[in-house]
Amino acid sequence: MNEIVIVDSECANLNSICKAVKAAGLSAVITDKPDIITGAKAVIFPGVGSYKHAMQVLEQKKLVSPLLASINKGTPFLGICLGMQLLFTCSEETHVQDSTNKIQGLNAIKGLVGRFSGDLPVPHVGWNKVRPVAGHPLFYGLGNNSYFYFTHSYYVIPENNENILAETSYGINFTSAVIRNNLLGVQFHPEKSGPAGLRLLSNFGKIIAGKEQ
């Protein structure tokens, strides 16, 4: 197997992710090559910006099938922010007024990506508490109310509660981390979350190591 892969979807701050991964003691390569992604020992899938644009880029780069192949064969996989949202069935995000069509995602986790509503400022930006709802190695050594850094206008709504790994409050309780077997996702940015973020990335490295044993 190759190194840990950070997927280049042209929709993420790859340098920040790469520096954080290195600071967490891990070795990774940035790539958009399908064969390298499918041969990786683990995949980190970051993303920021538009759901629609990101899906278009993945399709243009022919990365949809390699990403799903990695997930389905049990490769440790971590989606970050928009990268997590893209793992879901579809999003309510649209750039066409009066359109009710939802944008289709990777459908690796069943559920919808919805927009925050109400009187709170959107996007949700800044530090907030993340509460794991189930024990998992990704959050090992992190307290039940550790702070992580968020910047997003949309949040995931899994169909099945068994996919919810952690929650955060921002007007409502929303899902801030997800799980499906080897597939993990976080809404916050570990690369911007100081020691807690580095600990989470280090924990992901230990998950990878355990998978290799």
**Looking at the annotation, which residues are catalytic?**
81, 189, 191
| Calpha distance 95→156 (Å, rounded) | 19
* Residue 95 phi, psi (nearest 5): -110, 10
Q: What share of the chain is helix, strand, coil (3-state, %, to 5)?
A: 30, 35, 30
* Residue 197 phi, psi (nearest 5): -65, -40
| Calpha distance 116→44 (Å, rounded) | 26
| Calpha distance 152→137 (Å, rounded) | 25
Q: Where are the alpha helices (DSSP H) in the chain?
A: 14-23, 34-38, 51-60, 64-72, 82-85, 194-212
User: What is the three-class DSSP state of 68?
Assistant: helix
| Calpha distance 82→3 (Å, rounded) | 23
| Calpha distance 151→122 (Å, rounded) | 9
